[in-house]
């Protein structure tokens, strides 16, 4: 006991550590494999762990039992202080962690518990994780039984790629809508990972509070998901109404891979204070602001949630409203981080998601962070992507040029028209001034003549209304 306490005290305040497990499958190139592992390291880091160890293995397929083969599993067990094989009972602390996740609490990855040691002779190891590994992150989507087997062999909690992403979303969700969406995705992810029922041995021993929580059975989870769906529908109806009000406005959506610099560009283009962070999935909520300096008619810019390789489908589906922004935009700025070697793959992922969503607005490729790219590489990118805009969100001149290009894009589609209004229609005259550019105004006997310029949609809706 003393030893365990000592270790806990020593560990208090230390940053948590993670080990990454990745299998290099035959149909994956070396570049893609390494990029994927690096990305998972960044994800794990965003979640608050130092990804200190990377265990990789070449295999034809994932091992059905525990992802990696027996030899590697032993190696992993040595690293974590686990048995290295799957033949032991899952330690209770892992179940508690799972139960907590299912309840929507913080999924902190447990240390060796002090109170469970004596009565569980089969527990993974008597002296706890030797190297203080707190999490194993697997770069594949794995089955609940593979996760359980890995946990048995290592005595450490296991998350797969989806699990890591779901946890990050959970921590970063701020608005009511984002929170509801994440809770739903989380329940859908966690539910199949709950153990169905305790084993006979555990039943004899009697169960503590932690295990009682496990009895959150599937039916309860389904009920909760239903509740969430209803609440979400209500919130989203309101969102849709808000979008309806902006319908006539010209809209630009910033889309792209996570961390590409969408929010940075949003800030620069609109002078707004949206969150910019060197984290994956910093943005989960949509923000809409007017392009600055303001054009007439106004152009609205929206920032959206970033995409990632193998973005869990539940999460894609649940972030509908951010994606509706993209769907309803007249122009898409597809932002990529040009300083990242792996950007073509990231660009392809974003394209894939946009296609799946049926987004077909004109799309400009923005090669951002060009300040981090040397002259030679810039020239190469210029040749390779002649249509792209190479820029830095940190360079005021680049941002001003982009702003002008956006304004010109809409301006090109504007038309000029002369309209006649009655002298009793002052309110309407005012609306024309507010929503369109008025180039001239004449007072004739039969009415007020306005020469206006703007987009067809706004012109038509004003003529009707």
Ligand X SMILES: Nc1nc2c(ncn2[C@@H]2O[C@H](COP(=O)(O)OP(=O)(O)OP(=O)(O)O)[C@@H](O)[C@H]2O)c(=O)[nH]1
Residues of this chain that interact with ligand X (CB under 6 A) are 258-264, 276-278, 280-283, 306, 368-369, 371-372, 392-394
Residue 239 or 283: which CB sits closer to Mg ion? 283
368 binds, among Mg ion, ligand X, none (CB under 5 to 8 A by kind): ligand X
Nearest approach in angstroms of CB 309 to ligand X is: 13
Euclidean distance between CA atoms 454 and 432, whole angstroms? 10
Are 104 and 190 in contact by the 8 Å Cβ rule? The answer is: no
Euclidean distance between CA atoms 95 and 115, whole angstroms? 15
Residue 213 or 280: which CB sits closer to ligand X? 280
Eight-state DSSP code of residue 90: P
Residue 297: cis peptide before it, omega within 30 degrees of 0: yes
User: Is 154 an interacting residue with respect to Mg ion (CB under 5 A)?
Assistant: no
DSSP string, 12-50: TTSPEEEEEEEEE-TTS-HHHHHHHHHHHHHHHHHTTEE
277 binds, among ligand X, Mg ion, none (CB under 5 to 8 A by kind): ligand X
188 binds, among Mg ion, ligand X, none (CB under 5 to 8 A by kind): none
DSSP string, 96-124: HHHHHHHTTS--PPPPPPSSSSTT-TTSS
Euclidean distance between CA atoms 253 and 335, whole angstroms? 10
Taking alpha carbons only, the member of 353, 350, 392, 342 closest to residue 42 is 342
Nearest approach in angstroms of CB 392 to ligand X is: 4
Residue 68 or 282: which CB sits closer to Mg ion? 282
459 binds, among Mg ion, ligand X, none (CB under 5 to 8 A by kind): none
What are the b/e assignments for 409-435, b being 16+ CB within 10 Å? bbbeebeeeebebeeeeeebbeebeeb
Nearest approach in angstroms of CB 43 to ligand X is: 11
User: Is 283 an interacting residue with respect to Mg ion (CB under 5 A)?
Assistant: yes
User: Is 263 an interacting residue with respect to Mg ion (CB under 5 A)?
Assistant: yes
Eight-state DSSP code of residue 260: S
258 binds, among ligand X, Mg ion, none (CB under 5 to 8 A by kind): ligand X
Can you read off the two tokens belonging to residue 200?
């006979």
The span of 138-146, 175-183, 275-283, 321-329 binding Mg ion (CB under 5 A) equals 275-283
147 binds, among ligand X, Mg ion, none (CB under 5 to 8 A by kind): none
User: Is 330 an interacting residue with respect to Mg ion (CB under 5 A)?
Assistant: no
Nearest approach in angstroms of CB 161 to Mg ion is: 20
User: Is 282 an interacting residue with respect to Mg ion (CB under 5 A)?
Assistant: yes
User: Is 288 an interacting residue with respect to Mg ion (CB under 5 A)?
Assistant: no
3-state helix, strand, coil in the chain (%, to 5): 45, 20, 35
Nearest approach in angstroms of CB 391 to ligand X is: 7
- Inter-CA distances, 335 with 255, 343, 461, Å: 6, 10, 32
Residue 41 or 259: which CB sits closer to ligand X? 259
Residue numbers at the binding site for Mg ion (CB under 5 A): 263, 282-283
């Amino acid at each position: 006991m003393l030893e365990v306490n000592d270790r806990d005290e020593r560990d208090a305040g230390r940053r948590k550590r993670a080990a990454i497990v990745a299998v290099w499958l035959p149909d994956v190139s070396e570049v893609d494999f390494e990029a994927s592992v690096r990305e998972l390291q960044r994800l794990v880091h965003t979640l608050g762990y130092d990804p200190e160890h990377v265990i990789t293995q070449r295999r034809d397929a994932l091992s059905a039992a525990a992802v990696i083969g027996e030899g590697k599993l032993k190696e992993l067990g040595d690293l974590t202080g686990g048995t290295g094989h799957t033949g032991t009972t899952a330690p209770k602390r892992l179940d508690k962690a799972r139960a907590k996740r299912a309840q929507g609490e913080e999924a902190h990855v447990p240390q060796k518990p002090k109170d469970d040691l004596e009565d569980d002779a089969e527990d993974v190891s008597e002296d706890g994780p030797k190297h203080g590994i707190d999490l194993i992150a697997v770069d594949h989507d794995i089955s609940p039984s593979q996760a359980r087997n890995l946990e048995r062999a290592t005595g450490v909690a296991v998350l797969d790629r989806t699990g890591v992403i779901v946890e990050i979303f959970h921590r970063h969700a701020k608005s009511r809508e984002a929170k509801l969406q994440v809770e739903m995705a989380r329940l859908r992810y966690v539910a199949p990972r709950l153990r169905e029922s305790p084993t006979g041995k555990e039943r004899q021993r009697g169960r503590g509070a932690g295990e009682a929580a496990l009895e959150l059975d599937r039916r309860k989870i389904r009920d909760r998901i239903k509740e969430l769906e209803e609440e979400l529908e209500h919130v989203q109806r309101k969102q849709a109404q808000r979008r309806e009000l902006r319908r006539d406005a010209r809209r630009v959506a910033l889309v792209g891979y996570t961390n590409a610099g969408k929010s940075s560009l949003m800030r620069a283009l609109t002078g707004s204070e949206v969150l910019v962070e060197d984290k994956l999935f910093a943005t989960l909520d949509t923000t809409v602001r007017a392009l600055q300096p303001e054009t007439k008619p106004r152009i609205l810019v929206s920032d959206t949630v970033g995409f990632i390789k193998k973005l869990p489908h539940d999460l894609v589906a649940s972030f509908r409203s951010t994606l509706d922004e993209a769907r309803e935009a007249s122009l898409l700025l597809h932002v990529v981080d040009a300083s990242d070697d792996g950007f073509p793959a990231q660009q392809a992922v974003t394209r894939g998601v946009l296609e799946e969503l049926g987004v077909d607005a004109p799309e400009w490729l923005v090669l951002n962070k060009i300040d981090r790219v040397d002259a030679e590489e810039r020239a190469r990118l210029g040749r390779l992507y002649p249509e792209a805009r190479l820029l830095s969100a940190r360079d005021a001149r680049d941002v001003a040029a982009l702003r002008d290009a956006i304004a010109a894009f809409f301006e090109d589609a504007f038309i000029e028209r002369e309209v006649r209004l009655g002298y009793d229609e002052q309110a309407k005259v005012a609306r024309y001034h507010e929503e369109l550019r008025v180039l001239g105004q004449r007072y004739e006997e039969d009415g007020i003549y306005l020469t206006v310029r703007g987009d067809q949609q706004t012109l038509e809706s004003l003529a009707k209304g």
